[in-house]
Structure 1
């Protein structure tokens, strides 16, 4: 899906360097470093309270780190707000959807385009193209408030794609989805990487989905990175099983193996 509104020279890398953040004396992030490359899918997993969403908030400009920094290529982004992050190519979704519930699906996407500086006409063209490309055109006139939960999450992704971001941060996009819907989401993420060339950060509790599509995975617990590596390394890590699966010493718990369909994809 070509995008006429994407910048001509998109950045290649979004990274955090030794990011720490404290809320009311509680350390939410502890010297977290990670790197997201264009054209790659990076997984971020961990138990509830691990700091995953806080990390996304930092990477998208919603929170400013107390220590460390976020860079777009070699450009520090310190002091830029979330709206500026979005304009320079860092888009995100939210766990709660956060659509404009009184607007139609089409108008939700148009609003994103206008916010990026497009004319209303160009924003409308962009919205229709994205909805058609993602198989959501039948929802265009539906009020966002009437969307089923899983469709709301898919529309949230469509809205984030407006403008052709260089990086797309997906916060729990598969929440509430069944296996078939999660498989469709996996195909959508692969499409985005292939056709837009964006880098995708996938934050998920659906470990099977993460293991099936991510080339590199970062595991957080208690605000810090405890392990990172490829899917095989993560699947075989006792420390990950202990933190993520809640076993006392790794025990017999195991992260899920890929299905035949996933392994062949």
Structure 2
């Protein structure tokens, strides 16, 4: 299994406007790495680049030293890099089980293998009771857990979670944190957690990158990030800061 996913001096420009500027970061296997920043900082663009949904204008995406920058998203997934989306993007007209099953088939499993793997994953996450529910009728938080299950099909080397705790209560966010640690401990998957819930990031991640205006302005342990004046300045005046959620 791959040991490191990295962005190497990645820049992305849209019609002359730079969304990312010389971003360098590493996601090691078996660890939880955080990516935080104010709204519009470029976090989702960064995830899109790492997963093949957006080509960098400059720089490279490296998987164990191999440049995968030019691969389309479906080929990136086949290399063992999976993701979730802010909007969930489940197949609304399929059941929860079918959502996982169709992903397995798309990754090369037989229908029976995919079905068995889907059963095992739903049980492992603790959402087997949702198996026959239509994905389009799920509550928001259940939708997030199903999306994580779907991304875990075939045990990827890296899992990138884009705002997985959005809309969750404090108790649900705690459950998510425990699930993420089970993923790194048991699946040995490297996780990138992109999240506005700073408390969840500080509690869950081993190390954290801070993105502001498309640039990495800080990197360190949760304690170092919590103490950083650069990070406080980046968040100053945001709604989350006003509500006391930032650091």
* TM-score bucket of the superposed structures, by smaller chain: over 0.9
Task: Map Cα deviations across residues 169-189 of structure 1 (whole Å, 9 max, x no partner).
Answer: 000000000000000000100
Tell me whether 1:129 sits opposite 2:120 in the alignment: yes
Runs of 4+ residues deviating >6 angstroms: none
Map 1:206-217 → 2, pairs under 5 A: 206-217=197-208
Please name the residue that 1:36 is paired with. Answer: 27
- Aligned counterpart in structure 2 of residue 56 of structure 1, from 44, 47, 71: 47
Answer whether contact 2:198 2:245 (CA < 8 A) is retained: no
SS in 2 for 1:43: strand
Tell me the equivalent position of 1:220: 211
Per-residue deviation, residues 196-254 of structure 1 (Å, max 9, x unmatched): 0000000000000000011110000111101111111110111101112437xx9xx78
Structure 1: distance between partners of 2:237 and 2:46 = 22
Preserved contact between residue 42 and residue 212 of structure 2 (Cα < 8 Å): yes
SS at match of 2:13: strand
Of residues 216, 221, 233, the one that matches 1:242 is 233
Residue 184 of structure 2 is matched in structure 1 by 193
Does the Cα contact within 8 Å between 1:52 and 1:203 map onto a contact in 2? yes
Tell me what 1:152 maps to. 143
Aligned residues: 244
Contact 1:217/1:230, CA 8 A, preserved across alignment: yes
Residue matched to 1:171: 162
SS at match of 1:47: coil
Shift of 1:118: 0.3
TM-score when normalising by structure 1: 0.90
Aligned residue number for residue 82 of structure 1: 73
Question: Aligned to 1:97, what secondary structure does the other structure show?
Answer: coil
Mapped to 1, the partners of 2:41 and 2:148 lie a distance apart of 23
CA distance in 1, matches of 2:15, 2:133: 41
TM value normalised by structure 2 = 0.96
Unpaired stretches in structure 1, ≥5 consecutive residues: 1-9, 257-265
User: Is contact 1:166–1:197 with CA below 8 Å preserved after alignment?
Assistant: yes
Determine helix, strand or coil for the equivalent of 2:178. Answer: helix
Point out the more displaced range, 230-239 or 96-105. Answer: 230-239
Q: Following the alignment from structure 1 to structure 2, what is the Cα–Cα distance between the partners of residues 79 and 207?
A: 33
Asked if residue 180 in structure 1 is aligned to residue 171 in structure 2, the reply is yes
Instruction: Work out whether residues 199 and 245 of structure 2, in 8 Å CA contact, stay in contact via their aligned partners in 1.
Output: no
Superposed displacement of residue 255, structure 1: 3.8
Matches within 5 A, 1:104-123: 104-123=95-114
Where 2:75 maps in the other structure, the secondary structure is: helix
Report the alpha carbon displacement of residue 36 of structure 1 after superposing the two structures with TM. Answer: 0.3
